[in-house]
Amino acid sequence: MRIAMASDHAGFRYKQEIGRVLTAEGHEVVDFGTDSTVSCDYPEFVIPAARAVAAGECERGIVLGGSGNGEAMAANRVRGVRCALCWDATTARLARQHNDANVIALGERLIPLAAALEIVAVWLRTEFEGGRHVRRIGMLDAFDS
String of DSSP letters for the chain: -EEEEEE-GGGHHHHHHHHHHHHHTTPEEEE----SSS---THHHHHHHHHHHHTTSSSEEEEEESSSHHHHHHHTTSTT--EEE-SSHHHHHHHHHHH--SEEEEETTTS-HHHHHHHHHHHHHPPP--THHHHHHHHHHH---
Global pTM?
0.96
pLDDT higher than threshold 60 for residue 15: yes
Annotation marks residue 129 as catalytic:
no
pLDDT higher than threshold 60 for residue 2: yes
One of 17, 59, 98, 129 is an active-site residue; which one?
A: 98
| pLDDT tens-digit series, residues 65-121 | 999 999 999 999 999 999 999 999 999 999 999 999 999 999 999 999 999 999 999
Q: Considering its fold, how many domains does the chain have in total?
A: 1
Annotation marks residue 59 as catalytic:
no
Domain that holds residue 51: 2-142
Question: Contact, 65 vs 42, CB < 8 A?
Answer: yes
Whole-angstrom Cα distance, residue 15 to residue 22?
10
CATH of the domain at 112: 3.40.1400.10
